[in-house]
Structure 1
Amino acid sequence: MSDGVFVAPVGIVAGPPVLDSANVVVLPELWGFHAMVPVTETLEWLTDVLGSRTGEQRIALRSAPRQTFSFSVRLSDAEYARARGFARRRAHTIVGVPVWAEAINLAVGVAASDSSIAMDTTSGDWRVDGGVVIWESPDKFVVTRIVLVAAGSLGLLAPVGVDLRKPKIIPLRSALVPEGFSVDRQATYSDVGVKFLVTDNIDLAASYVSTYPKYQGLDVVTEAPVLVADVSDSIVRSMDLIDNGTGPVVVETLRNYVDFGQTVSFMESRPSGVWKRRKWLHSLRGKQKPFWLPTFNRDLSLAASATSGATTIQVKANGPVANLINRHVMFHLTDGTRLFRQIASATVIDPDTTEIIISSALGRAVAPKDIAMICFVSKVRLNADAVTISHQFTADSVVNIPVMEVPA
């Protein structure tokens, strides 16, 4: 039963439920109002970071991230009356929340007799025994249970029971409303805000298949800079300042490396791009697992051609050679090939040329015209256990990822 259309199961023998059966699934009452853009989604892990002077150890304490959604809806007087009744009944209980960001828009209708829906299920969290909302409008929708998930279809518990014209197919999650419902009433409408804390969270890491190149066994994020909406950096060295107020200030460093933090924002299409990014984030397990992040700057440029077996390469560099030693770099070639190496040493040849020795030969001859970019890559991890996904455009979302460099 929901605020929309009630669909009675068809072809099921009536009788008392077997409550100790693993096959008993009770779908919660649906918050049946279409969320306005933007919808804010947060994934939150819990990681214990044990730091030392030379590095850190990270322990994931939560098997699956907690997912929250912040919705706002604008309601007419009649709709607000329904919402107010819902809030009074359900403010302290589990409710059903549609995952609007993973909605699939059908180009065809759904018939009352249909017990399966032909659709792409590869870019969303569709679960056997989970709920699904088949949504035409706030006054006409069906909530039912999924019994089969195939690559090209969803199997439903029973026929839909009502004809629906080109509906949205939306995954259903169970959630609490820990902060209640906030209402801003106007003369002709009411704005209702609500934050849902999902309770049926699962870990998607096992289903993640990386498409990134690997360097030292870790992903290298290779999205071109045009896909990065915003990058902000902070550079700080952890230290204690000893100051008695009357004499000189004494600095006691806590680590032998600099904390270099960034916030990187990616623009992702929905639902496929967001789904891929979400699974990648799950694979990181919060702050636990590191990955490689290029600067996407032309930090070095090739000064002379190099043979396939050469480990000594001449480059043009910015800044002193001390900034190069032990740094990791990405050679991005014009044919799309990416090669990753570490700089073992560097020597200034003349004011415009620096000679670097890399950890191993590139394996192919390269000339300056073959190089699209040579940039530094840093080993980083999430700098917070919470990642925000803002579903703020009609078909795209912004994923904000705070990261911190760790010793490579």
Structure 2
Amino acid sequence: MLFSTELFGDVVLLTSPALVGATEKIGFKTDIFESKNGFEIRTPLRDKARQTLGFSSVAIRKEIAQHFNVQYGGIRKNWAVPLYQESQYVGSVDSDFIECRTDIYSFYANSLAVLRNGSEFKIIEIASVESNGLKLAAPIAMANAKLYPVRLCFINGDIARQISGVHAHASITFNVIDEIELKESTPAQFLGDDLYFFCLTYSGGSMEATISQQQDIIDNQVSVVFQDTNWNFARYSKQYRAVIKNQAELYDYRRFLFRRQGRFRPFWLPTYESNMRCKSTGLVSSVLLVEHDQHKQLADLRKHIAIKSNGNWTAHTITASAPVAGNSIQVTISPALNKNASTIERISYLGLHRLDADNVELNYQGANIVEANVMIIEIGV
């Protein structure tokens, strides 16, 4: 369906509803310079995220003719693509203002949106975004309407079609032209970097993780084999799998991605493993007694821990540690915990992480469920 707009000229409106399995990719670009000892310097190369939308749609019987003509004639035109996953019911509209939620939806000034009632579509041009709704460039009227944000796109590559006598199925990938600008979220801070305690979701009954370290092997085939490493410490990586269940959670996750800027900005996160076993009793302030567990011999370089007590996590720096009698280690932490030892549920190492990918794909599963998977890697301890 071809529409003429003041903002972008003629655009083809995607009117076929997206099938379950739509995708959205948010991409940044980071240059990483790694020193011999494993230390990183990261430089962001994009000031805006690249957004790609993947849709599949189907036309039945009498819709097939228009379905073909729109795609055949519009394959290299600009498209107005509604974000069907961000729909909200706004009722009857008859003015230049639409009262709606704008805080967690992708509406922007000088962009497009769509009103829909059944098979009727109307493109609207947004003059400004207010806290309680959208100010439009011109009045609009429609009863029982649903409202969708719209992204201006072009088709990347070809349109894949599967056809029969009664249906036509099309798969299209769109590159977004009016790239999204989202205010990044600023979480709690620890030693100058972001601090998170978000959950890591298991895939099945466990979660896969990897400990890795650069390795040089010298093997002359005729004598002893030698190995060494240049890195100062090993890296711990695992998958961050997010299962998003509503629009508010999706908005927060997008803000998290924009805060990270792909692989650029690091953040503190616990390992969530039981890395230290508490042996203290009574009130624990700044001194903690833990089991020996080879910590001093092999993990003494880890100077930051997260403690979960009474269901809440707190971040601490180890300022001193020393073996004491009874196969124990006395650890001094800052800031002080000031909680009873009986409330301590877990002590995990706290590491400085980053995303291990510049591009993150959101997979829309239907029923407002979105799943995203991205590897995270520990780059500092």
Q: Percent identity at matched positions?
A: 21
Matched residue of 1:82: which SS?
Answer: helix
Counterpart AA for 1:145: E
Matched residue of 1:406: which SS?
Answer: strand
Question: Could you tell me how far apart the structure 2 residues matched to 1:62 and 1:358 are?
Answer: 42
Counterpart AA for 1:149: V
Structure 2 residue 130 is the aligned partner of structure 1 residue 150? yes
Question: Could you tell me how far apart the structure 2 residues matched to 1:279 and 1:186 are?
Answer: 42
Structure 2 residue 73 is the aligned partner of structure 1 residue 92? no
Greater displacement, 88-97 / 313-322: 313-322
Change (3 A) 1:171 1:65: same
Structure 2 unaligned blocks of 5 or more = none
Match of 2:147 among 159, 169, 178: 169
1:32 offset after TM fit, Å? 1.4
Q: Which residue of 1 aligns with 2:318?
A: 342
TM-score w.r.t. structure 1 length?
A: 0.83
Question: Could you tell me how far apart the structure 2 residues matched to 1:344 and 1:77 are?
Answer: 74
Per-residue deviation, residues 268-300 of structure 1 (Å, max 9, x unmatched): 233111111111111111111100121223332
Change (3 A) 1:35 1:323: farther
Pairs within 5 Å for 1:52-63: 52-54=35-37, 55-63=39-47
Counterpart AA for 1:155: K
Two-structure CA RMSD over aligned residues (Å): 2.6
Question: Could you tell me how far apart the structure 2 residues matched to 1:248 and 1:176 are?
Answer: 60
Counterpart AA for 1:144: I
Q: Which residue of 1 aligns with 2:370?
A: 397
1:404 offset after TM fit, Å? 1.4
Change (3 A) 1:175 1:316: same
Query: Does the 8 Å CA contact 1:333/1:371 hold for their aligned counterparts?
Result: yes
Per-residue deviation, residues 176-215 of structure 1 (Å, max 9, x unmatched): 21222101123432221111111221442xx2233x4321
| Bigger fraction of residues in strand | 2
Q: Which residue of 2 aligns with 1:214?
A: 189
The alignment of Structure 1 onto Structure 2 pairs a total of residues equal to 377
Pairs within 5 Å for 1:128-147: 128-137=109-118, 139-147=119-127
Counterpart AA for 1:276: D
1:383 offset after TM fit, Å? 0.6
Query: Does the 8 Å CA contact 2:284/2:340 hold for their aligned counterparts?
Result: no
Counterpart AA for 2:15: G
Matched residue of 1:372: which SS?
Answer: strand
Question: Could you tell me how far apart the structure 2 residues matched to 1:120 and 1:245 are?
Answer: 69
Q: Which residue of 2 aligns with 1:362?
A: 336
Change (3 A) 1:404 1:336: closer
Q: Which residue of 1 aligns with 2:241?
A: 265
Question: Could you tell me how far apart the structure 1 residues matched to 2:350 and 2:211 are?
Answer: 16
Q: Which residue of 2 aligns with 1:124?
A: 105
Change (3 A) 1:202 1:324: same
Question: Could you tell me how far apart the structure 2 residues matched to 1:243 and 1:203 are?
Answer: 52
Question: Could you tell me how far apart the structure 1 residues matched to 2:122 and 2:267 are?
Answer: 42
TM-score w.r.t. structure 2 length?
A: 0.89
Structure 2 residue 283 is the aligned partner of structure 1 residue 302? no
Change (3 A) 1:114 1:399: same
Per-residue deviation, residues 318-372 of structure 1 (Å, max 9, x unmatched): 5543344232211222163624223643526435xx32323425152x2222223
Q: Which residue of 2 aligns with 1:199?
A: 177
1:30 offset after TM fit, Å? 1.3
Question: Could you tell me how far apart the structure 2 residues matched to 1:316 and 1:283 are?
Answer: 37
